[in-house]
Structure 1
Amino acid sequence: MNIKKHIPNVITLINLFCGCIAVVFVSKNQFEMAFLFVCLGIFFDFFDGFFARLFNVAGPLGLQLDSLADMVTSGVVPGFVMFKMMQESSIFMYEGYFQFFPYLGFIITLGSCLRLAKFNIDTRQTDSFIGLPTPANALFILSLPLVLQNYSRESLLVLEILTEKWVLLVITLCSAYILNAEIPLFSLKIKKFSLKENALQLGFLLTSLVLLLLLQYLAIPLIIIFYVLLSVANNMFSKK
């Protein structure tokens, strides 16, 4: 029995397990714990591919399993978080058809599903991404209730923005769009130890580290937005 070939799939299943635990914590409004387990899931999601390449056991089963695990950790969980945020925003204002308004948060889950299905058949995304990867989108969405919890007392603007149902709907629609947009985004993989060839990645990582140290949870959505804008700028510069 070749144990090595099963290691990447076991790691993928641990990612799925973390996603399942995160769903439970979201149901209890324990967003910080949900964020922690999604981060763990994303960590294992990175290493399943690493070990598959290391042991030379990459195959179609691993590819499909990876997407199914990501569907929960980076698809169901952020959609559920947005559902809960919409449910909490103006909770006493939902009447008639508006009582179904919070369910629109699961548009993020639908967008993630489409993104993952497209990724499996898109041969262009071996060295870079087309559209925002689902783990990055999940971190963006899961950071929002944490920003609300930690900064709403200090800033009324944060409170007003992240408790307004129409703002949350716009964020939801933008999230589903950017997941599937035909926008090339640079990869953070460093293949060669060359400062010149990895200047973009290293600059982004350094900036992200500084933002995290200074702003903590607030840095996460800013980093994701910065990543997209930097990729767009890089694309424009490369064409010239």
Structure 2
Amino acid sequence: MSIKKYVPNAITLCNLLCGCIAVLFAVNDQMEYAAAFVALGIFFDFFDGFFARLFNAQSEVGLQLDSLADMVTSGVVPGIVMYKLLAHASGLPWGTQFEAFSSPLPYVGFAITCASAYRLAKFNVDDRQTGSFIGLPTPANTLFILSLPLILIYGEFAFAKAILENTYVLIAITALSCFLLNAELPLFSLKFKSYGFAENAVKYIFLIVSVLLIIFLHFLSMPLIILLYVLLSLIFPDKKAQA
């Protein structure tokens, strides 16, 4: 039996491993490392599908395993990060040993974990999302959430830090995150079937603007990139995703 059959699932398990490590770092307020391992996990998440198609090794087990791995990397981790952000905004200093916080407010952050689980379950049974997405993909949402503590820690913009230390803003971000994950919003995919500008104009514009935002705004660029992604998808809807 060819070993190629097992390569995609092995890569998926690397995603899961990265998610587990990111959980530990997030719990201990080491958000830089948590973000790094989440990014690595998302990298593996992209390439498991690539190798599954390359080796013609797609399987139902692989589909379910992919969602289970994403549930940790792109479901549990952002929930913990939002818990930490809300706890910090409620008065708990960074670096405080993780324990049950006396206020119930930070637990609102785990709504992101629940919404991510629901989205992943829907994705597995929705045959409309083969070439595009309906609702914000969990990896994109996770990058959005993971960028927030990095803005607080390394951000050069005082106004952004002040906004992200407001509990009402964080609750609003949590609600928006949960909505975007499961909304019936057709969003374009960054997969290219051809490279002509005419048929990929929106994708090229998105990528160029995203690079410029990263260069000039650093960590603050990530929430803006996600919002730009949603905005461009609404202005230029993918008709195939709506079918």
- 1:1-240 residue pairs with structure 2 within 5 A? 1-91=1-91, 99-151=103-155, 154-235=156-237
Q: State percent identity of aligned pairs.
A: 58
> Could you tell me the TM-score, scaled by structure 2's length?
0.92
Letter of the structure 2 residue corresponding to residue 84 of structure 1: K
Q: 1:188 to 1:103 in 2, by over 3 A?
A: same
Q: Which piece of structure 1 moves more, 133-142 or 167-176?
A: 167-176
Letter of the structure 1 residue corresponding to residue 230 of structure 2: V
Q: 1:237 to 1:68 in 2, by over 3 A?
A: closer
Deviations 1:74-95 (A, max 9, x none): 0000000000011111226xxx
Deviations 1:134-167 (A, max 9, x none): 000000000000011122xx54422321111111
- The runs of 5 or more residues in structure 2 that have no matched partner are 93-100
Deviation of 1:237 after TM superposition, in Å, equals: 10
Q: Distance in 2 between matches of 1:36 and 1:199?
A: 30
Q: Distance in 2 between matches of 1:110 and 1:228?
A: 21
Contact 2:82 2:109 survives alignment (8 Å): yes
Deviations 1:109-142 (A, max 9, x none): 0000000000000010001100000000000000
Deviation of 1:196 after TM superposition, in Å, equals: 1.4
Q: Distance in 2 between matches of 1:160 and 1:56?
A: 50
Q: Which piece of structure 1 moves more, 224-233 or 200-209?
A: 200-209
Deviation of 1:236 after TM superposition, in Å, equals: 9.2
Letter of the structure 1 residue corresponding to residue 89 of structure 2: S
Q: Which piece of structure 1 moves more, 192-201 or 182-191?
A: 192-201
Secondary structure (helix, strand or coil) at the match of 1:127 reads coil
Letter of the structure 2 residue corresponding to residue 165 of structure 1: T
Q: Distance in 1 between matches of 2:168 and 2:213?
A: 28
- The runs of 5 or more residues in structure 1 that have no matched partner are none
